[in-house]
Structure 1
């Protein structure tokens, strides 16, 4: 199959938006209660203090021009204070507070915790509030006016933010610089005792191997919580700008975003942008657009990639991801890989545009990952698609009565178009209520009703396009789709119905490419995978189709048609047992359970050369059929299918090692002929068509045991 392109949203195609149902993400606990994330013990603050607070030379840069400063030369160590040789700006990397200093007459300093992009971070006790632990964040350089402005901006933003996943600001105070006496600002924040995600991945690689990555489900659990925090910021018109593993702390079973030094208002085009190489969007985008919601979400995707697999994310892949051949985790979890490709797409319009939409798709990917890891389904209703649809109560290829082999027949273009899940009607559309009641109607009747609509809304035109496709008038769907696209430019559903049009017309290659793009755009949804799998099977790539179907079926057993399609591919690969095992996983409460068991009987006795079957294949098919207890024509036709195969097996020179019975008679030529004669005569008695009745009687006579009389 073609590799995931990650491209769907271009200037002439759908935007990166998943739907208009954006809103705020309301997800709960870490991992949504689905992931067992190892808790990180709360760290005693006293043990977190740095014994020798020093900024490493490799991290010393001028706060004004970004040039390297404070570097060693020969045997002479680098200076921690001085002036930039490039622009003359004063720099200082020495802590301004020492143990025992009392800031604002309230906060007693215990020492340095770390140094960040904008200043030293100190641990202190708040003597005015029960000696609680707090964190003071100062400036790298008290003489750096730009840094002062940024710190003041951080203070105002933090004062607006109240979210359980974002560090809480407590106060903002000043303390004289010990060298100059000039007051220096310090932000007072809650102490978050735990470890950063960077600490966790570094420890893992030291403990296991340098290429180790955190479990994908755990990485997704972190990302979902981070998206809740970013959603909160975005709703307030704020951008985080510098999301990375260093800035996320896990304490016990909770994560918090820290270091809001890069936060700015979305409309701010003046404040300097603080980002980190390897995580930020391409520089050209920052120059052209500045920070956006899309660029914020990009940093989350980059962080996820860094946490889950080892690659050179600053040198070889500063804005790309390694190929799955170099990153096994991407090969193991295709939907996760496609999700990251969309999130970190080089074109801003092709990415996610809201944390809510991104969370919805990521939650679908998480359920897939958990299902693949455990082998147990993790289903949930889609917010974008309705359920799988069945005609006359039958799954794709399933027929009531008739030839049992039709149960595993390939999907017809009409059948696939009708049974794939349909996109949901946008509830914001003025005609949504009316269309919801019409959706279940016959396509032919629906076309007439929708064409007569006096003031068609976008959703009306979209439903008309679908009705035309299903009624066999697929070429005519282009008009309503063009009208919908003109009124709702960039909506992914235009591409969905374009793909469905190609399916109905039998253009499997074009439909495959469109479904592939939709899968890249909606990696957490089952529907694009089902459409793509059907097209891959038709275009000669059954292995890729089987992988997609297996992913969907392992995740959600409500897509019962998937079991029939997957069993058909397994059967085509010569894996009769695998086909039967798939069909055995159809839930007993499903309306298609009997159809699945019937198909399993067919699978067990299907072979190009019946002589290659084993005795166990025949006897197990017989026992399964007896357990089903099917009566009437359906049961007799299936019985004849099993007995005919067994007779061919016997005529090929096979015989059981000891006497065995199959469906009430001996498994030998004479017993099988007696059984077949009875079965065909029973079918003849119930046949209503005279010609069919004569054919069945002739068949019974041809199969009766040979006698001299």
Structure 2
């Protein structure tokens, strides 16, 4: 019997069936192969035959008597947590099932399959990350935690470690295994918090059942330390359990200082939010305090930007050149993978003409509409906008590429989104610095004007 988990179930007395390639769950999820194994169950790659054989990950919990009931509760908690979360760094849940046969019970989570390797696998394989890749992992984890910790009430993961961080093919991290998740504020009848976590990655307050957002940040620091040194954080712990970060940590003083503060024994001495950590990592980007001599900063240097004339300014000279680069002509839009600085070949121009003839002029018209809309939107920014530097948070491929970024204006940090052609944005990574034009009077609407 299968159900959706809404009915109350008795305590399971023995585990459910073992799955093999070819087995089918709920008449739709066909098992392909095993992906991993945990203390209480297994994860499998499967195809959803009711959704055009979409690949999914099926997490199965097999309980055995009362000893497995706590694991079942954690599994149910993971299902409930994932249902309510929507973030690119958190696997999407598609289904939640229970299967009973007599006194045997199995529970299943069907979720997004992430085709990637864990940080633990990278470490065990001896692979190291270059500074740009390390930055992407750090910023990606911080972005996920900022999302979780700013939910109402805040959501804590409580088990961040290399094994629970997967790297997608494009290098972006995803946080998995939400079995230990809980909200910070709970009903009085729930009592104290269950101690869940992994030794070496959880701070002292979490071992006492008093986890907070700062506890998750501690785990990020321990994970980054393990990733950089390829040694578990427990190897750096003193007799009293304090993790002592090596003085000569690869990455320099900026990285070491951030990780050392993340791993402070007292929660009050750590950063109190993911945003604080991000700003500390990227001090060179926003022109903060100068890093000590010899520091290898994670962020790239800030570009120089020409001084703009007072508003309203004339769209001429260098400003007009940048405007034309940002608002590409219809033929440039057709070849969106071709970098704007490179001239189009005769064959490409001929293809545009041929496409126009074959579509009776419809294709050029469509590209002209996009071109005109982009120029119409960009013009007020070039005539009246304030020039600022921003930092990329996320590069997401859509029909073109959608870039999410943040910038500081008038002492406040703000976010924006712009759609950029692949030839330009395809070379960007989270943490890269870009140039923006902002209209404060339009609720800080902004556009990207970097074209290289």
TM-score (norm 2): 0.55
> Does the aligned pair in 2 maintain the 1:137–1:188 contact within 8 Å?
yes
> Match for residue 411 of structure 1?
none
> Match for residue 281 of structure 2?
362
> Does the aligned pair in 1 maintain the 2:194–2:209 contact within 8 Å?
no
> Does the aligned pair in 1 maintain the 2:13–2:104 contact within 8 Å?
no
> Does the aligned pair in 1 maintain the 2:30–2:49 contact within 8 Å?
yes
> Match for residue 190 of structure 1?
112
C-alpha distance in 2 between matches for 1:325 and 1:255: 24
Cα deviation, residue 152, structure 1? 1.1
Cα deviation, residue 360, structure 1? 1.5
> Match for residue 245 of structure 1?
162
Alignment of structure 1 residues 136-175 onto 2, 5 Å: 136-143=58-65, 144-175=68-99
> Match for residue 273 of structure 1?
195
C-alpha distance in 1 between matches for 2:111 and 2:98: 14
Moved more, 164-173 or 131-140: 131-140
> Does the aligned pair in 2 maintain the 1:125–1:133 contact within 8 Å?
yes
C-alpha distance in 1 between matches for 2:258 and 2:183: 27
> Does the aligned pair in 2 maintain the 1:95–1:120 contact within 8 Å?
no
C-alpha distance in 2 between matches for 1:337 and 1:358: 12
> Match for residue 391 of structure 2?
none
> Does the aligned pair in 2 maintain the 1:244–1:300 contact within 8 Å?
yes
> Does the aligned pair in 2 maintain the 1:279–1:318 contact within 8 Å?
no
Cα deviation, residue 356, structure 1? 1.5
Per the alignment, do residues 557 and 295 of structure 1 end up closer, same or farther by CA in structure 2, a change over 3 Å counting? closer
> Does the aligned pair in 2 maintain the 1:158–1:169 contact within 8 Å?
yes
Indicate the RMSD between aligned Cα atoms, in angstroms: 3.7
> Which residues of structure 1 form unaligned runs of 5+?
1-88, 206-212, 365-523, 531-546, 559-709
Alignment match of 1:202 (pick from 98, 115, 124): 124
Give the length in aligned residue pairs. Answer: 285
C-alpha distance in 1 between matches for 2:174 and 2:73: 24
> Match for residue 41 of structure 2?
119
The answer on 1:219 being equivalent to 2:107 is no
> Does the aligned pair in 2 maintain the 1:319–1:344 contact within 8 Å?
no
C-alpha distance in 2 between matches for 1:140 and 1:243: 23
Q: Secondary structure at the match of 2:55?
A: strand
C-alpha distance in 1 between matches for 2:273 and 2:245: 31
The answer on 1:294 being equivalent to 2:214 is yes
Per the alignment, do residues 155 and 352 of structure 1 end up closer, same or farther by CA in structure 2, a change over 3 Å counting? same
The answer on 1:229 being equivalent to 2:144 is yes
Cα deviation, residue 362, structure 1? 1.8
Q: Secondary structure at the match of 2:43?
A: strand
Alignment of structure 1 residues 355-394 onto 2, 5 Å: 355-364=274-283
> Which residues of structure 2 form unaligned runs of 5+?
1-10, 303-452
The answer on 1:340 being equivalent to 2:340 is no
Cα deviation, residue 244, structure 1? 0.9
Cα deviation, residue 554, structure 1? 12
C-alpha distance in 1 between matches for 2:47 and 2:300: 52
> Does the aligned pair in 2 maintain the 1:175–1:184 contact within 8 Å?
yes
C-alpha distance in 1 between matches for 2:218 and 2:59: 27
Alignment match of 1:110 (pick from 32, 42, 50): 32
Per the alignment, do residues 104 and 361 of structure 1 end up closer, same or farther by CA in structure 2, a change over 3 Å counting? same
Per the alignment, do residues 271 and 293 of structure 1 end up closer, same or farther by CA in structure 2, a change over 3 Å counting? same
Cα deviation, residue 264, structure 1? 0.9
Which structure has the highest helix share of the two?
Answer: 1
Alignment match of 1:353 (pick from 263, 272, 278): 272
C-alpha distance in 1 between matches for 2:17 and 2:279: 44
C-alpha distance in 1 between matches for 2:273 and 2:37: 32
Cα deviation, residue 325, structure 1? 10
The answer on 1:258 being equivalent to 2:176 is yes
C-alpha distance in 1 between matches for 2:135 and 2:298: 19
TM-score (norm 1): 0.36
Cα deviation, residue 216, structure 1? 3.9
> Does the aligned pair in 1 maintain the 2:62–2:106 contact within 8 Å?
no
Alignment of structure 1 residues 348-497 onto 2, 5 Å: 348-364=267-283
Which structure has the highest strand share of the two?
Answer: 2
C-alpha distance in 2 between matches for 1:263 and 1:339: 25
Q: Deviations over 1:309-363 (max 9, x none)?
A: 1335225527999999966435x60111111111110011010111122111122
